[in-house]
Structure 1
Amino acid sequence: MAYWLLKSEPDVFGYPDLEQRGREPWNGVRNYQARNHLRSMQEGDLAFFYHSNSNPTGIAGICKIARSAYPDNLQFDPDSKYFDPKSTEENPRWSMVDVVPVRSLPLLPLDALRTLPELENMILLRKGMRLSVMPVTEAEWKAILEHADSLLAPAR
């Protein structure tokens, strides 16, 4: 199993939207490196759902890859802002995966993630990192879950 982080703007599509819909294609990715990450995802992989371009930004939940990469339908729709006239059915340039919700988390703000020593090399925390899809190591995954669980633990 691999671990990932998927970014979305919560005013466009947030983790509560995924919970409400139950399953959703992760489409509209138009960066080649992020697309390649999508193409590496396998059914059953887990991903953090990250709310970007919000105040504060942070991890809002966990989702599971329910369908491995397949052609992004929006690249063929001339009415979509994600339309790509150079993409063809025979040679699609863009891919998407389907995701399903696993569990919501208390929002884990980016600033709080920066304080965790286990995340010092995490791609998300690098200066200028703007990818909407990125891998997460198993150690990073575990550290973030431990942090989230500590926030949910009852005070003693």
Structure 2
Amino acid sequence: MAKWLVKTEPSECSINDFAKAPDKSIPWDGVRNYQARNFLREMAVGDEVFIYHSSCKRIGIAGIVKVVRGAYPDPTQFDPASAYHDSRSTPAQPRWQAVDMKFVHKLPRLVQLDELKGLPGLEGLPLIRRGNRLSVMPVSEDEWQIILRLT
């Protein structure tokens, strides 16, 4: 099983949204960066994912979800009413992917970005590298364990 981190604005989809319906899966759609899309394609059922809240007052890792459906064509790319519509995508040649995820648990506390920076063993974590704006990124098993020990 692989480990991942996805960034989201809590006003769009937070760990609380997952927690409100723990038996319901939520599609992770609307990703419009090719590298992030490629990471979505690699996600498999059972993979664990950190939910990272960004663009908000309290930035950090808030909880864990798991992938319950691997990559499939993101339906928002075909919907002209969607903010994520892509007129160049077709059902025969979709450009964008989505995955479905389900709640595992909230972390006992928010693990803030400042805590992660400079922590031994996290030097390679894309999240802490300056200028990294990817909304989906891999997390190694060692990095995952280091982060969990902070909670």
**Do they superpose with TM above 0.5?**
yes
Letter in 1 for 2:53: H
Over 6 Å off, 4+ runs: none
Aligned to 1:120: 123
What secondary structure does 1:68 align onto? Answer: strand
Deviations 1:99-141 (A, max 9, x none): 0011101111100111421212211100100000000011000
Percent of aligned pairs with the same amino acid:
53
Distance in 2 separating the partners of 1:81 and 1:18:
22
* Partner AA of 1:131 in structure 2: L
1:110 aligns with 2:116: no
Q: Which whole-Å CA distance do the structure 2 matches of 1:116 and 1:104 have between them?
A: 22
Alignment of 1:7-156 (within 5 A): 7-21=7-21, 22-105=24-107, 106-148=109-151
Structure with bigger helix share is 1
Q: Look up the SS of the partner of 2:93 in the other structure.
A: coil
Consecutive unaligned residues in structure 2, runs of 5 or more: none
Rg larger for: 1
2: CA distance, partners of 1:134 / 1:115? 19
TM-score (norm 1): 0.92
Deviations 1:23-48 (A, max 9, x none): 10000000000000000000000010
Q: CA deviation at 1:19?
A: 1.2
Query: What is the number of equivalent residue pairs in this alignment?
Result: 148
Answer whether contact 1:56 1:110 (CA < 8 A) is retained. no
Structure 1, unaligned runs of 5 or more: 149-156
Partner-residue secondary structure (3-state), 1:100: strand
Please state whether the residue corresponding to 1:112 is helix, strand or coil.
helix
**Matching residue's letter, 1:32:** Y
Paired letter, 2:13: F
In 2, are the aligned partners of 1:43 and 1:65 still within 8 Å (CA)? yes
Distance 1:126 1:80 in 2: 31
Distance between the aligned counterparts of 1:129 and 1:55, measured in 2? 19
In the alignment, the residues of structure 2 paired with residue 36 and residue 127 of structure 1 have an alpha-carbon distance, to the nearest angstrom, of 21
Q: TM-score, normalised by structure 2?
A: 0.95
